[in-house]
Structure 1
Amino acid sequence: MLASVLSSRAFSSAPERGPSNTTSLPKPRLDYRDISENVVLKSHNAFNRKAALPVGAVQTVARLYDEQKELSQMLNTKRHARTAVGDRIRSLAKDPQRKQAALDEAKALKAEILELEDRATHLEEELHALALAIPNDTHPAVPIGPESVAVTLSTHGPELIPASPARDHVAICRALDLIDLEAGATVAGSSWYYLKNEGALLELALVNYALSTAMKHGFTPITTPDVVRSDIARRCGFQPRDPVDGTASQTYHLMHTADPAAAENHNHPELVLAGTAEIPLAGMFANRIFAANELPLKVVGLGHAFRAEAGARGADTRGLYRVHQFTKLELFALSEEEKSGEMMEEMRKLQTEIFEGLGLSFRVLEMPTEELGASAYRKYDAEAWMPGRGSWGEISSTSNCTDYQARRLHIRYRRPATTSSPSPADGAQSALPFVHTLNGTAAAVPRLIVALVENGAVFNDAGDVTGLRLPKALQPFWVGGNARGLIEWV
Structure 2
Amino acid sequence: MIDLRFVREHPDAVRASQRARGADESVVDKLLAADADRRALVRRVDDLRAEQKDASQAVKKAGPDERPAVLERAKSLAAEVKQAEEELREADAALREIHLRIPNVVADDVPPGGEDDAVTLRTVGEVPAYDFDVRDHIEIGEALGAIDMERGAKVSGSRFYFLTGPGALLEFALAQLAISRAVAAGFTPVVAPALVRPEAMEGTGFLGEHDEEVYRIERDDLYLVGTSEVALAGMHSGEVLELDGPRRYAGWSSCFRREAGSYGKDTRGIIRVHWFDKVEMFSFCRPEETAAEHLRLLEWEEQFLQLLELPYRVVDIAAGDLGTSATRKYDIEAWFPSQGTYRELTSTSDCTTFQARRLNIRYRDADGRPQTAATLNGTLCAIARTIACLLEVHQQADGSVHVPAALRPWLGGVDRLTPGMTLQAAVPPA
Specify the TM-score bucket, using the shorter chain as the normaliser. over 0.9
Corresponding letter in the other structure for 1:70: A
1:117-141 residue CA offsets vs partner (Å, 9 max, x unmatched)? 1211111111110011100011112
Determine the C-alpha separation between the residues in 2 that align with 1:228 and 1:71.
35
1:377 aligns with 2:324: no
Query: Mean alpha-carbon deviation: is it higher for 154-163 or for 282-291?
Result: 154-163
Cα contact 1:331–1:441 (8 A) shared by 2:
yes
Where 2:113 maps in the other structure, the secondary structure is coil
- Correspondent of 1:75 among 22, 41, 45: 45
1:477 aligns with 2:413: no
CA drift at 1:198: 1.2
Determine the C-alpha separation between the residues in 1 that align with 2:72 and 2:181.
74
Where 1:97 maps in the other structure, the secondary structure is coil
Which residues of 2 match residues 13-412 of structure 1 at below 5 A? Answer: 31-51=3-23, 56-92=26-62, 95-161=63-129, 166-239=134-207, 249-256=212-219, 268=220, 270-293=221-244, 295-412=245-362
Determine the C-alpha separation between the residues in 2 that align with 1:229 and 1:74.
36
1:130-178 residue CA offsets vs partner (Å, 9 max, x unmatched)? 0111000111121111121111112212244379863211111112221
Cα contact 2:101–2:208 (8 A) shared by 1:
no
Cα contact 1:303–1:329 (8 A) shared by 2:
yes
Cα contact 2:228–2:253 (8 A) shared by 1:
yes
Determine the C-alpha separation between the residues in 2 that align with 1:320 and 1:434.
39
Determine the C-alpha separation between the residues in 1 that align with 2:195 and 2:131.
39
Instruction: Give the aligned partner of residue 394 of structure 2.
Output: 456
Determine the C-alpha separation between the residues in 2 that align with 1:66 and 1:249.
32
Determine the C-alpha separation between the residues in 2 that align with 1:180 and 1:239.
33
Instruction: Give the aligned partner of residue 13 of structure 1.
Output: none
1:290-327 residue CA offsets vs partner (Å, 9 max, x unmatched)? 1232x310110111110111334435111011011111
1:129–1:163 Cα change, 3 Å: farther
Determine the C-alpha separation between the residues in 2 that align with 1:123 and 1:315.
43
CA drift at 1:60: 1.4
Instruction: Give the aligned partner of residue 245 of structure 1.
Output: none
Determine the C-alpha separation between the residues in 1 that align with 2:3 and 2:52.
31
Ranges in structure 1 where 5+ consecutive residues have no aligned partner: 1-27, 243-247, 257-267, 418-422, 424-430
What is the count of residue pairs matched by the alignment?
421
Determine the C-alpha separation between the residues in 2 that align with 1:153 and 1:288.
37
CA drift at 1:31: 3.5
1:6-36 residue CA offsets vs partner (Å, 9 max, x unmatched)? xxxxxxxxxxxxxxxxxxxxxx8x6433223
Determine the C-alpha separation between the residues in 2 that align with 1:349 and 1:232.
28
Normalised by the length of structure 1, the TM-score is 0.81
1:25-81 residue CA offsets vs partner (Å, 9 max, x unmatched)? xxx8x6433223332322231232234x5x722101111212222222222222212
Cα contact 1:165–1:388 (8 A) shared by 2:
no
Determine the C-alpha separation between the residues in 2 that align with 1:476 and 1:303.
23
- Correspondent of 2:380 among 400, 418, 442: 442
Corresponding letter in the other structure for 2:376: L
Determine the C-alpha separation between the residues in 2 that align with 1:81 and 1:241.
44
Determine the C-alpha separation between the residues in 1 that align with 2:130 and 2:352.
40
1:256-309 residue CA offsets vs partner (Å, 9 max, x unmatched)? 3xxxxxxxxxxx5x111111111111111111111232x310110111110111
1:478–1:186 Cα change, 3 Å: same
CA drift at 1:215: 1.0
Corresponding letter in the other structure for 2:308: L
Determine the C-alpha separation between the residues in 2 that align with 1:98 and 1:377.
63
Determine the C-alpha separation between the residues in 2 that align with 1:164 and 1:252.
42
Where 2:309 maps in the other structure, the secondary structure is coil
CA drift at 1:480: 8.9
Query: Mean alpha-carbon deviation: is it higher for 394-403 or for 140-149?
Result: 140-149
Determine the C-alpha separation between the residues in 2 that align with 1:88 and 1:315.
74
Determine the C-alpha separation between the residues in 2 that align with 1:457 and 1:383.
19
1:320–1:82 Cα change, 3 Å: same
Determine the C-alpha separation between the residues in 2 that align with 1:163 and 1:40.
57
Residue identity (%) = 34
1:87–1:255 Cα change, 3 Å: closer
Corresponding letter in the other structure for 1:158: E
Cα contact 2:127–2:335 (8 A) shared by 1:
no
Corresponding letter in the other structure for 2:274: H
Where 1:292 maps in the other structure, the secondary structure is coil
Determine the C-alpha separation between the residues in 2 that align with 1:41 and 1:97.
61
Determine the C-alpha separation between the residues in 1 that align with 2:132 and 2:58.
91
Determine the C-alpha separation between the residues in 1 that align with 2:133 and 2:9.
55
Cα contact 2:326–2:352 (8 A) shared by 1:
yes
Cα contact 1:36–1:61 (8 A) shared by 2:
no
1:86-143 residue CA offsets vs partner (Å, 9 max, x unmatched)? 2222122xx2112222112212212222221121111111111001110001111211
Where 1:458 maps in the other structure, the secondary structure is coil
CA drift at 1:485: 7.0
Cα contact 1:341–1:400 (8 A) shared by 2:
yes
Normalised by the length of structure 2, the TM-score is 0.92
1:326–1:479 Cα change, 3 Å: farther
Corresponding letter in the other structure for 2:225: A
Cα contact 2:132–2:397 (8 A) shared by 1:
no
CA drift at 1:469: 0.7
